Amino acid sequence: MIIILKNKVSLKFDEFLFKCSIGKKGLTKKKIEGDKKTPIGKFSLGNLYYRSDRILKPITRLKCIKIRKEMGWCDDIQSEKKYNKLVNINEKVKHERLYRKDHKYDLLIPIKYNTKKPKLGKGSAIFLHLTSNFIPTKGCVALKKKDFLIMLRLINKKTKIKLA
């Protein structure tokens, strides 16, 4: 099954339609780190990361990983080894902090874009995450918590997302 971005403001999965937000500058086939664009393509999904201090472990067939304070996602275009990977924030690399004060990353699933052999500068930390107001993202896809929890019950590790 495939989650499909319908019209830049909604995701369709099976018979469900979820309102969403994407990158502030729309979609692109030529993603560049920091361009505020969501990459075009069909991608696999990673594990579910969640804040266990804020949310009970969700019902899902994805592997669930508790977000800890020291977790980050490397967006450092100088780091060939760590780029676009989960890192410990104590490492000397630029990163996106996963343990945040706001609630955007209380639930998040990495979209497997530029992950197999990451190319430096081609974009990192592209996630499905939460939003409360549908403000455009820096390149991710964001959903309301209620819809994210419904989607988690429907998807599995073979589910793909098509962004176009």
Strand partners, 9: none
CA distance 114 to 14: 26
Identify the CATH number of the domain in which residue 121 sits: 2.40.440.10
pLDDT at residue 149, rounded to an integer? 98
Q: Which two tokens stand for residue 26?
A: 């729309």
List of E strands, 51-131: 64-66, 71-74, 86-88, 95-97, 107-110, 127-130
pTM passes above 0.85: yes
**Overall average pLDDT of the 74-80 stretch:** 96
Please report, rounded to a whole number, the percentage of residues in the chain having pLDDT higher than 70.
100
Confidence of residue 44 (pLDDT cuts 50, 70, 90): very high
The answer to whether the CB of 87 falls within 8 A of the CB of 72 is: yes
The span from the CA of 6 to the CA of 60, in Å, is: 23
Return the CA Rg of the chain.
Answer: 15
Question: Cβ distance 40 to 26 under 8 Å?
Answer: no
Query: What does the pLDDT read at residue 162?
Result: 98
Domains identified in the chain, total number: 1
- CB-CB contact of 127 with 22 (8 Å): no
The range of the structural domain enclosing residue 91 comes to 2-163
- At residue 161, the pLDDT reads 98
- 106-135, pLDDT tens digit by residue? 999 999 999 999 999 999 999 999 999 999
At 107, list the tokens. 């639930």
- For 145, which DSSP code? H
Q: How far apart are CA 122 and CA 124, in angstroms?
A: 7
Strand 141-143 relative to strand 127-130, pairing: parallel
